[in-house]
Amino acid sequence: MLTRKQKFIAISAAVAMVVVLTSGGLYRVHQKRVQHAAASASVLEAGAHLRAALGAEPGKPETADEPGTPKVLDARYEAVAKSHAALRAQSGALPRETVDAADHYLIGAREILRLYAASRRHHHLTGVGLRELWAHMGSRYAQGPGWTTEAVRRKDLLEREYFQYRNTTEAMGRLLEGYSEDRARVVPLLDASSLPDESLVRAARARLLEEGKNLAVEMDRLRKLPRS
């Protein structure tokens, strides 16, 4: 039979074990809440960057500090990429479905911003190339040695920029088409009302399509010019 002292020691040890287990459980719950809040904050931040970018009217000068310029879009991309990397580094305490949902949304937002910046940059350079080539073509009656060579050089550079513009814009359009699925996956995580909705995404995609059509018309006009 246990002595009174032995009973006291046994009860104390049991109480200590319960305290340790309870504290550990509470700590894990706390960690999960912290990680969930971090995932939600990352998604909401990415959504805010995306909303600002997609809601901006394109066509501002590249040097302007405006929401839709490459300079600002690059900064938004970097912010989302940094947030995404931080979330991946500390996502071990979260359920897999939570990590996957946040991960998909952040990757989508990051890539839309990256491609949008590239699209703006190539659109700007295509526009510059068009204007300069038209000016060069208009000087044909005052042409001197090398005029044709220079015209061909400018035309090749323009075609390369336009090709890059089309590629980046079409890739961005595909990502915008899949945005609703990424958004739906994070709805259980947070209040998704502050994230860009379908109407904003559709409007941004429609602007891109319209802009692409207008630029294609300009390129076709140039291509139909006589070669000599």
Within a domain: residue 115? Answer: yes
Q: Is 226 left (phi over 0), alpha (psi -120 to 50) or beta?
A: beta
205: closest CA among 103, 80, 112, 99? 112
Domain with 102, as residue range(s), is 37-223
Residue 53 lies in a domain: yes
CA atoms of 200 and 47, how far apart (whole Å): 12
Q: Domain for residue 21, yes or no? A: no
Cα 195 from chain centre: 13
> What tokens does 87 get?
């979330």
Is residue 66's pLDDT more than 60? no
92: DSSP letter: T
pLDDT tens-digit readout, 10-56: 445 544 454 444 444 444 544 566 566 777 888 899 999 999 999 87
Residue 160 token pair: 């390369």
In a domain, 29, yes or no: no
Closest CA to 128 of 100, 158, 150: 158
Within a domain: 18 = no
Write down the pTM of the prediction.
Answer: 0.79
